[in-house]
Amino acid sequence: MTTTLSAPAELPVARPPARRRGTAIALIAASVPMFMATLDNLVMTTALPVLRTELSATLEQLQWMVNAYTLSFATLMIAAATLGDRWGRRRVFVAGIVVFALASIASALATSAELLIAARAVQGAGAAAIMPLSLTLLAGAVPAARRAMAIGIWGGVSGLGVALGPVIGGAVVGGISWEAIFWINVPVAVVAIPLVLWALPESHGRRQPLDLAGLALAGAGILALVWAIIRGNDDGWGSFTVVGGMLLGALLLGAFLVREAHTDHPLIPLRMFRVRSFAVANASALLFSFGVFGLVFLLAQYLQIGMGYTPLEAGVRTLPWTAAPMIFAPIAGMLAPRIGVRPLLAAGLALQAAGLAWQGLVVSTDGLAYADLVPGLALAGIGMGLTFAPSATAVLFDMAPDDHGTASSVNSTIREIGGALGVAALVAVFTASDGTLTPDGYVAGLQPAALVAAAVTALGALMVLLWMPRSTGRATA
């Protein structure tokens, strides 16, 4: 009798006996570098005022210190997964950790805004090799019976890394210096590399030539699209640069799809999107990232500007939201084989939408106390925990092992784009609703932004209910 838990579970990967080091060690080896990479998405946000003074940076340079990492990260993930399939996933994973650590050193030693921006772009390239391959290597390293639980914990760690970025950044900047934000990555990498080599077995995917033309089209298209989204608030959504950037991105991505449909060695096999669970999981991930990470950006600022907390105090008060995935993601991973992905993912997105709506409605009242936010934060946290693991399972479900790296990288890229779009769009809603970065002016823009985030996330829940196959992720005899 064969038991199906998820895509990784039903498609076992052969491993030498000497590499069977245990689920816990494999989980640590795959998750620690991934946590380091996701943490650096937002770790700089609380350090920007200090950097503006010490490096004499302009406002635009401060934006690019954050955006250079995000754009490099999103653009190069698919290419890194393809190289991992061809050259060895563990080899490319370790190379990504090395690049990330060296770029962190360069960031810490930067003496000008331009040097820091360049180092951050290289750091994002290293993260692009870490993020998609960590899940693929984990899926091949743990026993089939424990794979769903391991993916659940991995999902919780991934979300926690993004959410805790501003908290850890604020604590480190306040207690040490802005350079220490980057120096802390170095000992983590030194410990992680030998652990990865010991605990995670090498694996390969499709051994095919790298589609350089497809890579150029996809990379340039994503770069143009995300750049236009980020510039939308500054230049205006109807401006020539923003509209032109979006049109250019759409044309390049359209050309990429045409290229992939006709080449013998596609960067992204379009047949993947004929798998309904993969297509729905990625669409819902885009909407999830739009709502969640867009509102996290605004709420973190509200706790500081509107309620007067320090960055560290604000981070601690988001724990009902940010820490919940560590509890509920493993539970969702264990429940998925019994009840399937669809009810868990739909419930998670619905709870997330309810939590976002609660926060938007509560902040519109006078005399807000932190306790008034807690129910909404808790609902959002539980929803996030129920979303991460089922989404990761659905992405890899019915995918051959050769496609795991590519499938994971596509999903990670889509989530990064969704987050960038969410931040840009929700800040635009905030501004259009007369919201201002002052204690008295924040509520006016935060309420409509939160309700838009809730509506977009609820749309993701509806999409999962209507189109996600019932059998996705469910154990079958």
Same domain, 329 and 458: yes
| Domain termination site, one of 266, 286, 301 | 266
Same domain, 414 and 305: yes
Identify the top-confidence range among 88-97, 293-302, 326-335, 440-449: 88-97
Instruction: Assess if residue 350 is contained within a domain.
Output: yes
**Mean of pLDDT values over 241-269:** 88
Whether the pLDDT of residue 18 is over 60: the answer is: no
Same domain, 196 and 125: yes
Residue 360, domain extent = 274-477
Domain count, the chain: 3
Same domain, 86 and 103: yes
188: Cα within 13 Å, side-chain hemisphere = 23
Residue 453 confidence (pLDDT):
94
Same domain, 303 and 367: yes
Burial label, 437 (beta-carbon count in 10 A; 0-12, 13-18, 19+):
middle
Same domain, 256 and 286: no
Whether the pLDDT of residue 154 is over 80: the answer is: no
Instruction: Assess if residue 248 is contained within a domain.
Output: yes
Pick 168 or 289 by higher pLDDT: 289
| Domain termination site, one of 266, 290, 311 | 266
d(CA 6, CA 473): 5
Instruction: Assess if residue 18 is contained within a domain.
Output: no
Pick 358 or 402 by higher pLDDT: 358
Residue 7 confidence (pLDDT):
35
Q: Quick one: three-class SS letters along the chain?
A: CCCCCCHHHHCCCCCCHHHCCCHHHHHHHHHHHHHHHHHCCCCCHHHHHHHHHHCCCCHHHHHHHHHHHHHHHHHHHHHHHHHHHHHCHHHHHHHHHHHHHHHHHHHHHCCCHHHHHHHHHHHHHHHHHHHHHHHHHHHHHCCHHHHHHHHHHHHHHHHHHHHCHHHHHHHHHHHCCCCHHHHCHHHHHHHHHHHHHHHCCCCCCCCCCCCHHHHHHHHHHHHHHHHHHHHHHHHCCCCHHHHHHHHHHHHHHHHHHHHHHHCCCCCCCHHHHHCHHHHHHHHHHHHHHHHHHHHHHHHHHHHHHCCCCCHHHHHHHCHHHHCHHHHHHHHHHHHHHHHCHHHHHHHHHHHHHHHHHHHHHHCCCCCCCHHHHHHHHHHHHHHHHHHHHHHHHHHHCCCCHHHHHHHHHHHHHHHHHHHHHHHHHHHHHHHHCCCCCCCCCHHHHHHHHHHHHHHHHHHHHHHHHHHCCCCCCCCCC
Per-residue pLDDT reduced to its tens digit, 373-428 = 889 999 988 998 888 778 878 888 877 777 776 787 788 778 877 877 787 778 77
Residue 15 confidence (pLDDT):
44
Pick 284 or 30 by higher pLDDT: 284
Q: What is the CATH number of the domain that holds 433?
A: 1.20.1250.20
Same domain, 359 and 253: no
Whether the pLDDT of residue 174 is over 70: the answer is: no
Pick 51 or 456 by higher pLDDT: 456
Per-residue pLDDT reduced to its tens digit, 46-96 = 666 677 778 887 756 776 787 788 778 877 887 887 788 788 888 899 999
Instruction: Assess if residue 13 is contained within a domain.
Output: no
Mean pLDDT of the chain: 80
Instruction: Assess if residue 12 is contained within a domain.
Output: no
Whether the pLDDT of residue 473 is over 70: the answer is: no
Range from 215-224, 276-285, 415-424 carrying the lowest mean pLDDT: 415-424
Positive or negative torsion for Cα 152, 197, 85, 475:
negative
Same domain, 44 and 174: yes
Instruction: Assess if residue 46 is contained within a domain.
Output: yes
Is 390:329 a contact under the CB 8 Å cutoff?
Answer: no
Whether the pLDDT of residue 6 is over 50: the answer is: no
Same domain, 239 and 135: no
Instruction: Assess if residue 17 is contained within a domain.
Output: no
Same domain, 350 and 399: yes
Per-residue pLDDT reduced to its tens digit, 101-119 = 999 999 999 988 889 999 9
Instruction: Assess if residue 8 is contained within a domain.
Output: no
Same domain, 227 and 190: no
Same domain, 47 and 194: yes
| Domain termination site, one of 266, 290, 308 | 266
Identify the top-confidence range among 147-161, 322-336, 343-357: 343-357
Residue 325 confidence (pLDDT):
75
d(CA 281, CA 268): 16
Residue 458 confidence (pLDDT):
95
d(CA 320, CA 324): 6
Whether the pLDDT of residue 293 is over 70: the answer is: yes
**Per the structure block, which two tokens stand in for 453?**
């985030």
